[in-house]
Structure 1
Amino acid sequence: MLHSKLCRVMSLVYYHSVFFALMGTTLRIRSYRKSIRLEKASRSYLIYNFCVGIFLFWNIYYMVPQALVDGYIKYNIVLQWNFFVMIILRILAVLGCYVTIWLKRKEIIQLYKNSLAYWKIFRKIIQVLVNKEDLEELQITLARMMYRQIIVLYVGFMFSSTIQYRLLSVINKQSLLALSARLTHFLHFIAVKIGFYGMLLLLNHQFLVIQLALNNLHQKKSGKKWKTLRSIASMHLETLQLARRIFSLYDIINTTVFINMFMSTINILYHAVQFSNNTIKSDRWDILFGNGLIVSNIWGTLMLMNMLDRVVTSCNNIGQTLRQFSDLPNVSKKLQRELEVFTIQLNRNHLVYKICGIVKLDKPAGLRYIASILSNVIILMQFDLRKQPQPNIHHRYQA
């Protein structure tokens, strides 16, 4: 059912999550049969899940001593506070991920089962209602978007790791251990973002498929349209409920993702200010990689928020697609009744994503997000305006 390119990229998302123990249990993927089956929650994976969480949590300890003896942080109160805030956020991110998986493991596994059952039920409907070429084109487009997000994230990781290594004031076992700990957490953060983006991509796929099915139904000249429309309405409602359940289960994890993205971006931009005013000694390569890190960080963040907005919009805009049925010359009473039922369903069920049920995320919120980051960086820059000149000391990004 899924195009081979989309299957490969979603398998890549899956293996990222399995490696960092972000799954409730493992899945059995058989590409030659194009089937996915749920594995039993084995003890070995449970132990592996626990060990990964403890390993990441323990890694935070190795990041602290190196920063405390760093001369640059000693002379900059902003970076001192920033460092400890980032440490706290990393602790919350690790706890948020693995405590959620441990405490809600049964609910997550049940979500996997319901998702597989949902796919089996509506797979035949999609095959009948949606044009195969249109479906393949959609899936290829989504696969490219997923590949693009993964590439941007790993390009940012390359830039960050290169800069952090080049700006080490002293290269020894302790500094390299601290660097390794930071990069491990960075990879964990990448895996979480890839998993979140992958879930959004699949939801977006389903809502867009519903729109394609409605368009094909509108063009259909004969047949029992009312039965087909009822199936499409059922599919939309099931997909909406699935999206709400995913957002609810992973709410804490996604909250830590957005908070860490916010603070990391502020941290990167503030360090860029330190480069520009020569507080941190740098050469052309440092500036090149620093600019690359800024671009990849902002680009990846915007891509994630744009995909979230696409999911919400594609769900809530089904009503616009449904309006095209009003121009049909002859509408049977059964079809008219199904149209009314579907319209009422759409009016009563709107998909909204809120962080912890408080902060609504959409395009205006994305613009406010960028404006807030820039405002905070400008405020932090005020601490540097009348600062006494300090000696140039190498420092690393804490992104």
Structure 2
Amino acid sequence: MKHNTGTRSILRRSIKLTTLSHASGQNEVAGRIRQQFVELTKDEPHIHARNAAQKIGITEAELLASHLGSGVYGLTADWENILLAAAMLGELRAITRNDACVHERIGHYENLSFSKHGPRHMGLALNPEIDLRLFLHQWRYGYAVMENMGKSGRASSLQFFDEDGHAVHKIYTTDNTNTTAYCELVNQFKDEACEFPHIAHIKHTHESRPGKAGTDAAALERDWRAMRDVHEFFPLLKKHNVSRLSALGLMPKDLANQITVNGVQRALQEAAARACEIMVFVGNGGCIQIHSGTVSNLKQIGPWFNVLDERFDLHLNGEKIEQCWVTRKPSDDGVITSIEAYDEGGELAIQLFGKRKPGDPELSLWRDIVKACECTLNDAETV
């Protein structure tokens, strides 16, 4: 895929440099980070910003914020209107990731809608290419980035982070983006008072994650089998106070069947070979991004299993995957089957479904692919 690299000078001339006032302590911290970044890129000039931040021992949001006023500009927390304005930019690249998987899709930010339910601030982008589920109450920091900070070579983007400084969603320009409209967006939503973020560096653990202990497995199974829509699954977990992964371990194999850890890779290979249309879900606490369609150009590079198609990229780090499951959930449209991979912390990294719309039954071809992946585990167990 081509990335836009020729608009940097136009953008820099179009965006007025802002003098940001920081406390002396914040200036010192930002200065140290900038210096560490410079030293790091001498040895690793093509390092990604996320990896550079990890090596420095900070978050990616802090790395960006250390460059405020020098190609990086803070954005106001007006997430709805920023996203609505993105609809005027034309073609864009959407990127959503977690620790184990990166999902990239090219398209247009259209058909956006938003809603609020108590403290929850939700958003939807329903398009054939840009298909998003947004949890805006988890968004805390936003930046417009005009400079190349690492290997990506992308000269301009909008990047959004949660309160822990982890990226929840990024929007990059392409060669077909309206750069004038992009500059106008940044000028409109630029936060003149943006300061270095106050991020508490707390190492999160999963000790408080609800487990199997105390869960009534029989009651959970009854409720599972009584589902009429896959969206009833999250309320079911909440009702029984059990984590997603723990719930899978409590169910019989016709509902949740653990397969080999490379199940997602095998399913993608089968889908490509059979030209099966699938749905690929990748998300984090702030965004879920979905690809619907075929996959074709698959390539393994080191630990990364990649889909490198014209308008869809997927990068799955197999070394990060701890478990892989097939799940079957009842619905009014019949049984809905998914393949799900989980990282070492028990977090969902990626989900695969057969492509379908509400009201349509599941593709029989997809069910055949899932059965083939399950047979792989059975064969491995008998060796």
For Structure 1 versus Structure 2, the TM-score category normalised by the shorter chain is under 0.3
| Higher relative helix content | 1
Task: Report the TM-score when normalising by structure 2.
Answer: 0.24
Task: Report the TM-score when normalising by structure 1.
Answer: 0.23
Q: Which has the larger radius of gyration?
A: 1
| Higher relative strand content | 2
